[in-house]
Amino acid sequence: MKVNFLKLFVGVLALLLSASGAVAEDLKEASEEVRSEAARKKLGEKPGALCLYVKGLCCPSCAIGIRKKVTKLKFVDRKEFSKGVDLDAKTQLVMIGLKAGATPDNTKLARAIEDAGYDPVHLYSLTAGKLATTPIRAKN
């Protein structure tokens, strides 16, 4: 009985230690150069979508809170991506599908992301192959 308990304890301990290493790896922030190149590619593939940098986005489970808040916005096309939102934890980028003819409300978008517990930093836009950034914040 003691041997089985010891084996179980060692196995659980090993699992916990390996999981903590994986979490630490997820927390690495992408460089602005890497993030910008990823944004350029994503916007080139989906020119009608929004792309923004969200600080603190570090793992796939972040998608739950952000998606839950952002999909409630009227301008989000829930048929795009996964319920209107695609998250890339490696680059901290969020892509949001827009309904045809809809005008996004950046203040409401920023508020939804903040309400999910994350920090929206800026929007990316691609015009004639040139990438630009615009700060995005919810108004107090």
Buried b or exposed e, range 1-24, using 16+ CB within 10 angstroms: eeeeeeeeeeeeeeeeeeeeeeee
pTM of the predicted structure, to 2 decimals = 0.77
Comparing 63 with 28, the larger pLDDT belongs to 28
Q: Taking all residues of the chain, what is their mean pLDDT, rounded to a whole number?
A: 83
Break the chain into its structural domains and give their ranges: 29-135
Note the pLDDT tens digit of each residue in 95-133.
999 999 999 999 999 999 999 999 999 999 998 889 999
Nearest to 77 by CA among 97, 94, 95: 97
CATH of 29-135, one of 3.40.50.720, 3.30.70.1520, 3.30.70.100, 1.20.1050.10: 3.30.70.100
